[in-house]
Amino acid sequence: MTASIPFVKMNGLGNDILVVDGRTVPTGLTADAIRRLSPRAGGIGFDQVVTLEPDPAGADVFMRIANADGGEVEACGNAARCIADRLFAETGAASLSINTLGGRLSARRRDDGIVAVDMGHARFGWQDIPLARPVDDTMAVGGVAAAEAAGLGPGSVANVGNPHIVYWVEDPDAIDLARLGPEIEHDALFPNRINATLAHVVDRARIDVRVWERGAGLTRACGTAACATAALAAHTGRTGRQVTIGLPGGDLEIAIGDDRSILMAGPVATDFTGALDPVAGTFVFDGTPEPAAAG
């Protein structure tokens, strides 16, 4: 490799996160390199890459997030928990603040070791998502061609640092989200594209979901989708304010506060470490002598 920066591969419930540290020296990681590195076959394998940067606004760290397609995004709940876990280990702090393009977050480690992140507030206005046109009832948004053709009915939308639409269904596994997801994501109603979730309300305290993540595709877990689903379910009276969101990778605990703040809690894990070339998109795992040519 012509250049080398260390990386850490982590995951939150199987949502794969690549972490690089640019707090001292900028990483120079390019979108093309991200696309080369992200595949699970021939690459490092991740849904998002997070670059740690100093925060001029005074948070403990700024978290810059890009999806597997190289596009920068505003928020990632599982990444926030991964970053908090690393910084807790690094600093010994009990709590910390993380700034993102989607807003400032706070995190703490609970007594049981689980990382909990205050993800801020959900916004429900059509301009907040944003939608391409005014919608009177953002809890029942129609006009998405692929969803209507599939018989999904209207969806509920929210912005929790990034945009989400949730379709309330009886069986998320019975719907071909791999086909519908990209069509919903790129529908003209969503000028910034959108994350799409299929949600089955099991009871007042549990919702099972599957998620198509904007710029990443089908994912085993999406923290912001879990937050959006819980906030929308509470707002529409489908559940109470404390709910377990079941994802293919496992469960997240979501609590909606009296002030409508969203507290997300769940496990994280560190998988392996290595080094990568931020331009060429080659990499080595620690203990491996030769670089791999990703992509």
244 annotated ligand binder: no
CATH number of the domain bearing residue 69: 3.10.310.10
Band of the pLDDT at 259, cuts 50, 70, 90?
confident
Q: Is 128 found in the same domain as 252?
A: yes
Q: What is the pLDDT of residues 140-156, one digit of tens each?
A: 999 999 999 999 999 99
Q: Is 243 found in the same domain as 138?
A: yes
Cis peptide before 130 (omega within 30 of 0): yes
- Residue 131 is predicted with a pLDDT of 98
Check whether 74 has a pLDDT greater than 70: yes
- Residue 260 is predicted with a pLDDT of 87
Q: Is 242 found in the same domain as 141?
A: yes
How many C-beta neighbours within 10 Å does residue 226 have? 33
Task: Give the pLDDT mean for 226-239.
Answer: 98
Q: What is the pLDDT of residues 11-38, one digit of tens each?
A: 999 999 999 999 999 999 999 999 999 9
Instruction: Report the alpha-carbon distance of residue 205 to residue 263 in Å, rounded.
Output: 15
Check whether 229 has a pLDDT greater than 90: yes
- Residue 295 is predicted with a pLDDT of 47
Instruction: Report the alpha-carbon distance of residue 194 to residue 257 in Å, rounded.
Output: 25
Of 295 and 16, which is predicted with more confidence? Answer: 16
Q: Is 136 found in the same domain as 92?
A: no
Is 227 a catalytic site residue?
Answer: no
Q: What is the pLDDT of residues 177-216, one digit of tens each?
A: 999 999 999 999 999 999 999 999 999 999 999 999 999 9
* pTM of the full structure: 0.90
Q: Is 90 found in the same domain as 49?
A: yes
Task: Give the pLDDT mean for 106-119.
Answer: 95
Q: Is 285 found in the same domain as 238?
A: no
214 annotated ligand binder: yes
Identify the domain containing residue 282 by its residue range: 5-114+268-293
Task: Give the pLDDT mean for 231-239.
Answer: 97
181 annotated ligand binder: no
224 annotated ligand binder: yes
Out of 13, 20, 63, 76, the active site residue is 76
153 annotated ligand binder: no
Q: Is 197 found in the same domain as 244?
A: yes
Q: Is 110 found in the same domain as 78?
A: yes
Q: Is 45 found in the same domain as 173?
A: no
Instruction: Report the alpha-carbon distance of residue 252 to residue 261 in Å, rounded.
Output: 16
Is 222 a catalytic site residue?
Answer: yes
Task: Give a three-class secondary structure readout of 226-254.
Answer: HHHHHHHHHHCCCCCCEEEEEECCEEEEE
Q: Is 130 found in the same domain as 59?
A: no
- Residue 1 is predicted with a pLDDT of 45
- Residue 287 is predicted with a pLDDT of 76
Out of 147, 158, 222, 228, the active site residue is 222
- Residue 95 is predicted with a pLDDT of 96
Tell me the average pLDDT of the chain.
Answer: 95
Task: Provide the percentage of residues in the chain whose pLDDT is more than 70.
Answer: 96
Of 286 and 2, which is predicted with more confidence? Answer: 286
Task: Give the pLDDT mean for 262-282.
Answer: 97
CA distances (Å), origin 120, targets 38, 123, 162: 29, 10, 12
- Residue 292 is predicted with a pLDDT of 59
Q: Is 135 found in the same domain as 229?
A: yes
How many C-beta neighbours within 10 Å does residue 259 have? 6
Considering its fold, how many domains does the chain have in total? 2
Band of the pLDDT at 258, cuts 50, 70, 90?
confident
Check whether 290 has a pLDDT greater than 70: no
- Residue 2 is predicted with a pLDDT of 53
CA dihedral 152, 245, 8, 216 (to 10 degrees): 0
Q: Is 125 found in the same domain as 254?
A: yes
- Residue 245 is predicted with a pLDDT of 98
78 annotated ligand binder: yes
273 annotated ligand binder: no
